[in-house]
Structure formats: C-alpha cells, structure tokens
C-alpha cells in the first residue's frame, strides 16, 4: 500500500503559494519517499481531471483554485511528479528503512 505525499525537498513552488493563503504544506522527510513517478506525459489529462472539480477550482484557498491562477508552466512543474511512501502492515524482513504502521 502506498500513501501519496510531498517530500520536503519537492515542495518548492507549492510552499509559498499555500503560505500565501494561510496554509502549510504537510511534507515528509525525503527519506520517507519510496517512489516518485514522472507523470509529465499525462500533465494535461491530470489538469483536466483537476478542473472537473469546479467547486474546488472556484475557491481561492484550495489547491485546485491556487493552481488555476498560475501560469501553465508553473502549474505543470508542480503537478508533473507524484511522490509516494510505501506503507507496510508490519515489519518486513530485510527492509529496515520502510515506514511501519
């Protein structure tokens, strides 16, 4: 099972945008990220899926609303990589670095 996350080193443009509306980025140490996926080929599809949530896009303080007000290049930079932390249900032999819940 994987949990979507934001690594501390990967919140670049996102942090000041959220702080600008009084929010903080919930990020994890980079060492917790076990998988990063480059979704650049699907950035336009991903953006259209985000836009389908019209109520969220219309609000100024939601992430979709913030992203909608950005130039396309900045928005693409933020949404082109997805990060995940692999979760295990118990200790995994030979895998001491995994986050165990």
pLDDT at res. 72: 92
- In SS3 terms, the chain reads as CEEEECEHHHCCCHHHHHHCCCCCCCCECHHHCCEEEECHHHHHHHHHHHHCCHHHHHCCCCHHHHHHCCCHHHHHHHHCEEEEEEEECCCCCCCCCCEEC
pTM over 0.85: no
**Tens-binned pLDDT, residue by residue, of the chain (101 aa):** 899 999 998 888 888 888 889 988 889 999 999 999 999 999 999 999 999 999 999 998 888 999 999 999 999 999 999 999 998 776 566 665 655 55
Q: What is the pLDDT of residue 95?
A: 61
The residue count for the chain? 101
């Amino acid at each position: 099972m994987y949990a979507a996350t934001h690594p501390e080193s990967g919140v670049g443009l996102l942090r000041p945008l959220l702080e600008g509306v009084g929010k903080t980025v919930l990020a994890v140490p980079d060492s917790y990220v076990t998988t990063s996926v480059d979704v650049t080929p699907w950035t336009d599809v991903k953006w259209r899926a985000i836009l389908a949530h019209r109520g969220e896009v219309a609000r100024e303080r939601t992430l979709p609303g913030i992203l909608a007000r950005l130039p396309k290049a900045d928005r693409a930079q933020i949404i082109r990589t997805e990060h995940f932390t692999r979760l295990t249900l118990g200790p995994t032999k030979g895998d001491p670095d995994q986050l165990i819940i």
